[in-house]
Amino acid sequence: MLEREHGLLDGLDVLQRNRLSSLKQEFVAQSITGTYRNLTAQDFIRLGNLSCLAEPSDLLVYKSSETFSIIWDVIMNCTRDGFSLPSHLTSGLLLNSTELKIPSSLSPDKLAAIAHLLPSLGATFLQGLSPSQLLAALPALNTVSFSPVQASIIVEKLSSINILSPLGRLQELGSLTVGVKTETLLMLTSDRLLASLPDMAQHTAGLRPPQANAIATKLWGFPEVIYWLDDVEPLLCCTPLLSVLPRTRMLVDNISTASTKPWSTQQAKAIFKVVLDRKPSLIQEDFLSLGMLGLGVSCQVLQQHLRADTSPAAVRRILALLRQQPGPLHTSLKKCVIEELYRFEFFSELFEDLGVEIALSMPVSTIKKFPSDMMDTLRRMIVEDSAPFFMMSTTEQELLVDKMVQRMGMYTGVYTEEEFRSLGVMATFVSDEILIQLDRTFFRDNLDFLQTLCYSSRKMDIVARMLLEVAVFGPAVQNWNHTTLSQVDRFLFFLPQDRLQEISLALMTVGRIEKLFMRQRQWERGLVGLRCLDESQKRRFAEKQQFVLQFFLGFLKINPLSPAPMVPSCEILHTTAPSAWTSNSLASMSSSAFTNCLELIGLDPFLASYQRSQVFNKVKQLYGPFSSFSQSVISQLGRLALEMSPEDLSKLRLTERRSIAAMGAIGEWSTRQLAALFAATLNSTKLNPSQLDSSTLVAVGHMVCGAKATDMSSFNAVEFSKAVLWLGQLRLACSEEQLLALAGLLTHSLAFGPISSWGMDVFIEIGVLAAGLPDMAMSALVKEQIEGMSPLAISMITPDKFAVVFHQRQISMFSYEQAAAVTDAQLSALSDVQKTALAMVLMPWEDRHVDFRGRSQGQVVCSSSLCLILALLMVLMVLAHPASSPC
């Protein structure tokens, strides 16, 4: 064994010149550092970042040696590079040093050196730093990703000695801008904001919604904004449509600049509409000059240009313009392109030019008819750009891949490595029968690659069974060793609970559990992980993670003589998750550790009510009466505040937008809690409903449903309309009467005007608030307006209203996404003809009866011969009486 490890050390330089998998890197690091206790500083320099993969205990043995300074530097480099390290390693080697015990004693150079570690040290540590220390280290601090609460502590300290008053050096804050109060931003002049925006640009994505709204609405209030487009560009995605509308004519006059900016779809449509009215010749002569405004082109104009010159070269130029847009194309525009080009004889020649986003907007029933070469082209397109594939519903994904593998002849025999890799991210979306046939040698030898992919609950069970086969790691889980667990890695969470309990307790150390959590989180934050699991799947996975941690750390032992389970540190909550720990262990944390991690605990979406209750008792012990809670404490409570009664909530002082926004971000309040919170907001700010500005309404968020319908009617219509860009994305718990009152505000003459004048741009902007339109107005909607309604808005219309306002002809205008959003309750309220219209959208001429909504249904939407006859009649009726529409 020693000879092998010695060989590893001697051959380290050769190994590092090759591309090692993460598993092999970990094996090399742990083999070398675990075998020797006399490694030199030069050895650790050679190991470099591999040292960070070693067991913490193997590095801590050097703590009193001269070598430790090199190890410290290496670990620091890893943390700077964004490596996630176990808490025992960071706390033992970095955070528990004597000099960090007294924050005010740190020199500016030392503070700058550990700047990237400050978020881990928490709010208490930051409170101990002096303004002069922070000012000296500001160039290092302004690139660190602090939480909003942590950033606000630093900003307030700097402001306390007038260093930033009145934020004259805002441009120096960088990432710390997230800590600036919205109230302060609103006090700044346009010159001051503009001077700061170029430096803030790379950090605008981290701004909180009230901050972004405040800056954007303030700057777009000046006509000169059209000359500031380069400066305001980073905030265009946060700029309300109502702020852009008064400037559209001036933007069109400056079209050469406007066409180069990343407008949202609704902004682009509003500007395009003016181009069409004022400069139709521009569109006719040089359609391609629209640049990024192509996102807002109408179907009618697009059809005209596709028909004006039907040569492949001309069509390809238009398709290239669409592929270069700054954001996703609207569903209606993709449908328009497909319907227009599908008639062309040379459609197959243009197929690759469509781009994967448009290609995947085609119905699966059409894709399944592709010849082999087109299907292979589509496969290659998805492998090269998989993001649009993950925008499809699970059912669509599985049906698409099913048709693809049929063309590839994969229904018989072993599922080979070549076949698997050829499908890229789609490889795990094959049928269960195919995945079960996966070549076991490939499976065992490529687990690190397989762990990067997406698995449904069924596929997780299949992977778990494969892991337990004799040809892989064998059914005797109790015989698995350290290397086996390293190979299985995050797939361990796929195993059923009874098999997990057979793993050796000695192997499942705190450090290994942390690494499992970190690997899972790393996957979740990647392209595949971000789009793979829905909320229910995430919750089930969180429950499995909770079981693993609590079982192996001894929380589930019944024996009263067992040693007391560990109390988590704040650092280990960062590497695992607060919800994975018992409520008693969280409540047993030291006051300083709990205070440092309050914000993290409050943000955990999987903290159950029984956990929140006990943890919130700790909050009350530490911070006293609710009326004395500071704005900072309220901002950190998050979902812990759900444990407060309406009477408790009414005592909160919600005086600043940051504390209001913390409560407004929660969507699980009861009706009584919402009412108490909205009343507390008015009482704390000393404002009446008509005085709430757009940034405050953005902060109010879900709490807007706590206002009475009469109070809603008194909102400032213009300010409210500037807030709907954010409010319209929330699943608001408002009553039908409240939604009606909110929608009424949007029709004000200074807002969006009468509903009959609204285009798709307005419907996209207002989101769920479209569900509050009056019955008469909703029943009169034309195709373009219906196409602009969000699926979430569709789902929020009450079933009775849905059945009354949407004629079957209007339902037939739904996109697949809109039809898929129809709830079971809404479906039940529909007539047979309306159900048929919906079925035609969900499964147009599909040869088998499937509910394409991606949910498990007890019955199909339409299955009888009578249903199909009605469908034919409905189509004929639509053809005979087409809706008024620009498309």
Q: What is the pLDDT of residues 207-263, one digit of tens each?
A: 899 999 999 999 999 999 999 999 899 899 999 999 999 999 999 999 999 999 999
Q: Give me the pLDDT at residue 882, please.
A: 40
Closest to 251 (Cα-Cα) out of 231, 227, 235: 227
> What single letter denotes the amino acid at residue 339?
E
Q: Give me the pLDDT at residue 163, please.
A: 57
User: What is the C-alpha separation between 760 and 785, in angstroms, rounded?
Assistant: 5
238-to-77, 200, 203, 218, 696 alpha-carbon distances in Å: 35, 14, 13, 12, 15
Q: Give me the pLDDT at residue 421, please.
A: 96
User: What is the C-alpha separation between 139 and 823, in angstroms, rounded?
Assistant: 52
Mean of pLDDT values over 751-755? 97
Contacts of 731 (CB under 8 A, 6+ apart): 667, 768, 792, 796
* Structure tokens belonging to residue 383: 């492998």
- Convert the pLDDT of each residue in 442-453 to its tens digit: 999 999 999 999
Q: Does residue 7 carry a pLDDT above 80?
A: no
Q: Give me the pLDDT at residue 749, please.
A: 96
User: What is the C-alpha separation between 840 and 875, in angstroms, rounded?
Assistant: 9
Mean per-residue pLDDT of the chain? 88
- Convert the pLDDT of each residue in 516-546 to its tens digit: 999 999 999 988 999 898 888 899 999 999 9
Instruction: Please tell me whether residue 582 adopts helix, strand or coil conformation.
Output: coil
Q: Does residue 736 carry a pLDDT above 50?
A: yes
Residues in the chain: 887
Q: Give me the pLDDT at residue 280, please.
A: 82
User: What is the C-alpha separation between 371 and 347, in angstroms, rounded?
Assistant: 13
Q: Is residue 73 very low, low, confident or very high in pLDDT (cuts 50, 70, 90)?
A: confident
Mean of pLDDT values over 821-832? 95
* Structure tokens belonging to residue 1: 């064994």
415 has which bridge partners? Answer: 438
SS3 content of the chain, % helix, strand, coil (to 5): 70, 0, 30
Alpha helices by DSSP H, listed for 342-480, are 347-350, 356-359, 364-367, 372-384, 394-407, 417-422, 432-435, 440-445, 447-450, 457-467
Q: Give me the pLDDT at residue 71, please.
A: 87
User: What is the C-alpha separation between 557 and 679, in angstroms, rounded?
Assistant: 46
Closest to 355 (Cα-Cα) out of 392, 326, 316: 316
Which is more confidently placed, 72 or 867?
Answer: 72
Instruction: Please tell me whether residue 333 adopts helix, strand or coil conformation.
Output: helix
DSSP 644: S
764 and 265 Cβ atoms separated by less than 8 Å:
yes
Instruction: Please tell me whether residue 600 adopts helix, strand or coil conformation.
Output: helix
Which is more confidently placed, 416 or 201?
Answer: 416
281 and 253 Cβ atoms separated by less than 8 Å:
no
Q: Is residue 869 very low, low, confident or very high in pLDDT (cuts 50, 70, 90)?
A: very low
User: What is the C-alpha separation between 452 and 78, in angstroms, rounded?
Assistant: 22
Which is more confidently placed, 182 or 65?
Answer: 182
Q: Is residue 864 very low, low, confident or very high in pLDDT (cuts 50, 70, 90)?
A: very low
User: What is the C-alpha separation between 437 and 622, in angstroms, rounded?
Assistant: 57
726 and 701 Cβ atoms separated by less than 8 Å:
yes
Q: What is the pTM of this model?
A: 0.90
- Convert the pLDDT of each residue in 576-632 to its tens digit: 999 999 999 999 999 989 999 999 999 999 999 999 999 999 999 999 999 999 999
User: What is the C-alpha separation between 290 and 296, in angstroms, rounded?
Assistant: 9
User: What is the C-alpha separation between 136 and 131, in angstroms, rounded?
Assistant: 9
Q: Does residue 3 carry a pLDDT above 50?
A: no
Over pLDDT 70: what percentage of the chain?
A: 91
Closest to 499 (Cα-Cα) out of 469, 525, 522: 469
Q: Does residue 2 carry a pLDDT above 60?
A: no
Q: Give me the pLDDT at residue 5, please.
A: 47
Q: Is residue 10 very low, low, confident or very high in pLDDT (cuts 50, 70, 90)?
A: low
Q: Does residue 683 carry a pLDDT above 50?
A: yes
Mean of pLDDT values over 305-316? 91
Instruction: Please tell me whether residue 415 adopts helix, strand or coil conformation.
Output: strand
438 has which bridge partners? Answer: 415
User: Greatest CA span in the chain, whole angstroms?
Assistant: 88
User: What is the C-alpha separation between 745 and 717, in angstroms, rounded?
Assistant: 5
